[in-house]
Amino acid sequence: MSLPLAYIVEDDEIIATIFSTAVKEASFETVIIRDGIEAMQKLEAQIPDLVVLDLHLPGISGINILRFIRNDPRFEKTRVLIASADATQGEFMRLNADRVLIKPIGFHKMRDVASELKPQ
């Protein structure tokens, strides 16, 4: 059985690597996406099980990507984990996302939360 798929949408290279490693540690296959437009293209191409989503992204903002995911029935089973440095906006997103984590987010924390969001 293949591993569940996680998109790591994060423009900071180091953070993307850390998150990707942590999510892999939680037994996901990961794809790192560095901007909003690429994220939309990848979402059209393949439906992930988990999206780790930064809110401030070049191209299309994380808020719009979240709105797109939530309004499309194809992503009914896709879990969204917001990982943002913007505490205020992050809190506003709490209702629409499965989880909201405010940076700084440690390696273990990301791994544990990703584990919790793994499809049963």
Partner 1 sequence: MNVQTVLVTLIFFITAVVGGCLAYWVYRKSQDASVTPFLILTIALSEWSFTYGMEIAARTLAEKVFWAQFQYLGISLIPVGWFLFAQAYSGNEKWSNSARAYFLYIIPVFTILAAFTNRWHGLFWAEYEIVYSGQLSVFHSIHYGPVWWIFFIYSYILLLWGSLVMLWAHRTRGKVYRHQFILILIALVLPWGSNALFLAHLSPIQYLDYSPLAFTISAAIFGWGMFRLRIFDLMPITGQPVLHQLAAAAVVLDIKNRVVEFNSAAKRLFSIRTEDPIGMPVEKALDWWSKLEPAQRSAIEANQDIMLYIDGMRNYFSLQITPIWNSRSKLTGRFIILRDITGDKLAGEAMALAQVKTEFLAKVSHELRSPLTSILGLAEMLDYGVYGALTEDQRGAVKMVYESAQHMTRIVNDLLQQSRLERGTFRLDVTEFSLSDLLDRLSNREKASANLKGLDFTVELAPEMPKTLRGDPLRLYQVFSNLTDNAIKYTHKGKITVRVYIVDPAHFAFEVQDTGVGIPNELQRVVFNPFQQAGVVPNQKENGFGLGLSIVKQLLSLMNGEISLASEVGVGSTFTVILPIDPAWEQKT
Q: Does 95 bind partner 1 (CB under 8 A)?
A: no
Among 86, 96, 98, 112, binds partner 1 (CB under 8 A): 86
58 is an interface residue for partner 1 by CB under 8 A: no
Q: Which of 44, 87, 92, 119 binds partner 1 (CB under 8 A)?
A: 87
* SS3 track for the chain: CCCCEEEEECCCHHHHHHHHHHHHHCCCEEEEECCHHHHHHHHHHCCCCEEEECCCCCCCCHHHHHHHHHHCHHHCCCEEEEEECCHHHHHHHHHCCCEEEECCCCHHHHHHHHHHCCCC
- The answer to the question of residue 104 lying near partner 1 (CB under 8 A) is yes
Sites of contact with partner 1 (CB under 8 A): 12, 14-15, 18-19, 21-22, 85-88, 102-108, 110
